[in-house]
Structure 1
Amino acid sequence: MKKNRTDFQSRLGKGRKKYCGLQQIETFFQLNDLTATKELLNNIMSYALKRNSWIKEEPSVIYHFHQAMRSFIRASYFIMLKEKKYTINTQLEEVSPLVLGLLSEKEYQNPLLVFKKAFKEYSINEFDYFISGMVYFSMGIYDKLPERNMINPYIHLIKMLDAAHLITERRENKAFKIKKGDLM
């Protein structure tokens, strides 16, 4: 009798064309709301930095969030690698600062710059370490706090979420063009 093993690792980069970065990000936003994701990330971050409290969310919700963010980071990295294949056609009009969020006007015009900056400063493993550490410290009471500066990866993740959501919105509006043959 043959035993089947379940592969829990991301299939990104294993040679399957159907696991494209843009498709994974679209799937991420189909399953996770942007504001709820940013709010949960903010809660995890704030509880991780408090010494005498832990997050009130169910552990299964936190685990799902952890896995979803890991997939999101890998998909964002894949988009950053394929940056030259994507073209963004947007005309910047008078944009409200509320619409921009943490993005600058230049990043709003070209959201791929956010991914390039984030992965220039931190690797995928460092983002994984950040997410895992924040989840770990938010779920219990510990004497010690994280040993690294956790604010910069947090800001990069928030900006990456905004940029990815902007890309999916523009792709739906056909302002985000993909050259023929890039996805399939």
Structure 2
Amino acid sequence: MKKNRTDFETRLWAVRRKHSGVQFMETFFQFNDLAASKKRLTSIMNYAVKRDSWIKEDPSVIFQFRQAIQSFIRAGYLITLKEKKWAANTQLEDVSPLALGLLSEKEYQNPLLVFKKAFREYSVQEFDYFMSGMVYFSMGVYDNLPERNIISPYIHLTKMLDAAHLILERRGKK
């Protein structure tokens, strides 16, 4: 007799069909604008390091954004795992420094380098811990600051957002 167990954990990724990381990123950018996402991430970071104030946005919006970023991080990790099937090398034309954003010229040519570097330094769980901590500290007034380096994961996330948008933009041109 087969035992049926009820699993009470959320299964955001438990889907019968196979999806690619690029499809997950497309979904992320359908619901979240690049500029608005970077602004909200910066706002969360600013309020997380301020000891005497908290973010004024609705907590449900912040929580939904945290979940979306966590799904985005997993999509980026999925892209790095399947890099052999998908390459995004392009030649660098005359691009203004404003178009590069935080990306270097090499990263602009091959946006996958951003994801490789980020996941070489931090695991998916460490990015999750970072986002959870930043949301926690931005929601209230606390005496202590986060105990880890919070600038590097923030920079990696910002660069990943730029790189993912660039990947989707180039994919749309093909």
Tell me how far 1:89 sits from its aligned partner: 4.4
Number of equivalences: 171
Tell me how far 1:8 sits from its aligned partner: 2.1
- What is the CA–CA distance in structure 2 between the aligned matches of 1:130 and 1:89, rounded to whole Å? 30
Q: Which amino acid aligns with 1:119?
A: F
The equivalent of 1:128 in structure 2 is 128
Deviates further, 90-99 or 146-155: 90-99
1:170 paired with 2:170, answer yes
The equivalent of 1:10 in structure 2 is 12
Shift in CA distance, 89/118, structure 1 to aligned 2, threshold 3 Å: closer
- What is the CA–CA distance in structure 1 between the aligned matches of 2:70 and 2:61, rounded to whole Å? 14
What CA deviation, in whole Å up to 9, does each residue of 1:3-30 have, x standing for no partner?
A: x86652331xx57443321100000000
- What is the CA–CA distance in structure 2 between the aligned matches of 1:24 and 1:54, rounded to whole Å? 31
Deviates further, 87-96 or 68-77: 87-96
How much is the aligned-residue C-alpha RMSD, in angstroms? Answer: 1.8
Tell me how far 1:58 sits from its aligned partner: 0.2
Deviates further, 15-24 or 95-104: 15-24
- What is the CA–CA distance in structure 1 between the aligned matches of 2:21 and 2:153, rounded to whole Å? 20
- What is the CA–CA distance in structure 1 between the aligned matches of 2:155 and 2:108, rounded to whole Å? 16
Structure 2 runs not aligned, ≥5 long:
1-5
1:20 paired with 2:39, answer no
* DSSP-derived class of the 1:88 partner: coil
Structure 1 runs not aligned, ≥5 long:
175-184
Please report the TM-score for the alignment, with normalisation by the length of structure 2. Answer: 0.93
What CA deviation, in whole Å up to 9, does each residue of 1:70-124 have, x standing for no partner?
A: 1000000000111111122422111100000000000000000000000000000
Q: Which amino acid aligns with 1:94?
A: D
Matches within 5 A, 1:14-163: 16-163=16-163
The equivalent of 2:3 in structure 1 is none
Q: Which amino acid aligns with 1:10?
A: L
* DSSP-derived class of the 2:142 partner: coil
Tell me how far 1:40 sits from its aligned partner: 0.2
* DSSP-derived class of the 2:144 partner: coil
- What is the CA–CA distance in structure 1 between the aligned matches of 2:56 and 2:19, rounded to whole Å? 34
Q: Which amino acid aligns with 1:21?
A: G
- What is the CA–CA distance in structure 2 between the aligned matches of 1:105 and 1:75, rounded to whole Å? 23
Q: Which amino acid aligns with 1:157?
A: L
Q: Which amino acid aligns with 1:39?
A: K
What CA deviation, in whole Å up to 9, does each residue of 1:141-169 have, x standing for no partner?
A: 00000001100000000000000000000
- What is the CA–CA distance in structure 2 between the aligned matches of 1:8 and 1:15, rounded to whole Å? 12
